Amino acid sequence: MDTAFQLGNISIRWYGIIFAIGVTVAYLLISKLADISRLPKKHLEASLYIVMIFGLVGARLYHVSDQWNYYSQHLGDVIKIWQGGIGIYGGLFGGFIGLILYSRLKKYNLLRLLDVIVPGVLLGQSLGRWGNFFNQEAYGYPTSLPWAIKIDEVSRIKGFENYQYFHPTFFYESALAFLGVIILVVFFKTMHKTSGLTFSLYLIIYGLIRLFVEHFRIDTWEQNGLKIAQVVSFVFIISGIVLFIFIRKKITQKKG
């Protein structure tokens, strides 16, 4: 199911196709927002290259850390990203680090860059989740709900081999993220002159989305009974709220 078609001996996988579509659509949205914000094109394109490179590395490292029991025995598979396996939070942290380095090097406003980029990032996340559908991963607990997704036995998590239908948590996140994109774009068009507000709202929105979705998932990274993604979600939410309040407070002080 994960292979779309063959080009000779090369397998073109759905995961890669979905990833490419997500990146393209995200770029188109970011370009539109950059025009609204009057972000110089040279900064937009250079920063996006940095985000993609650092984000991809971070996403893969997060996934490998999550599945280290497997990769420690199959080190050659670490670089096989085309077979699937990325952690969104790792990608976000990687991309963020890349943007920090870029903004410091070019002496450009980091929050302004983030405001323009994050709606596109969330759109890419929404579309990218459909790669999980083709790879039969990122699903939730067994369920008999009408919208349950059937998972092939070979792709079922250990301990759940006797169940066929599961929560399509990839779809939950995709749908909620798309709604979040609409909210962010509308908000950006009104508040883009105040750097950091759109980014802070993104942190809150995506943190809440993952906090909800992780409640249903059975295949995520856990430590001492805690789901790592939920812990990071709390950090996102609190950070977003604090940043939003801080920026609004600065605006109020300036007006006063």
Q: Express as a percent the part of the chain with pLDDT over 90.
A: 50
- Min mean pLDDT across 38-42, 78-82, 200-204, 241-245 is at 78-82
Q: Where are the domains of the chain?
A: 3-255
Model confidence pLDDT, tens digit, residues 93-103: 898 999 999 88
Calpha distance 93→205 (Å, rounded): 16
Whether 132 and 138 have beta carbons less than 8 Å apart is answered as yes
The pLDDT tens digits for 22-66 are: 889 999 999 999 999 988 887 788 888 888 888 888 888 888 887
Question: What kind and span of H or E run contains 165?
Answer: strand 165-166
Say what the alpha-carbon torsion angle 164, 230, 51, 31 is, to the nearest 10 degrees. Answer: 80
C-beta of residue 163 within 8 angstroms of C-beta of residue 177: no
- Per residue in 185-201, pLDDT (tens digit) is 999 999 988 999 999 99
Q: What pLDDT, on the 0 to 100 scale, is given for residue 165?
A: 96
Of 219 and 157, the structure prediction assigns the larger pLDDT to 157
Q: Is residue 212 a contact partner of residue 234, using CB atoms and an 8 Å limit? A: no
The helix-helix angle for 88-106 and 228-255 (nearest 10°) equals: 40
Selection from 229, 204, 32 nearest residue 117 by Cα: 32
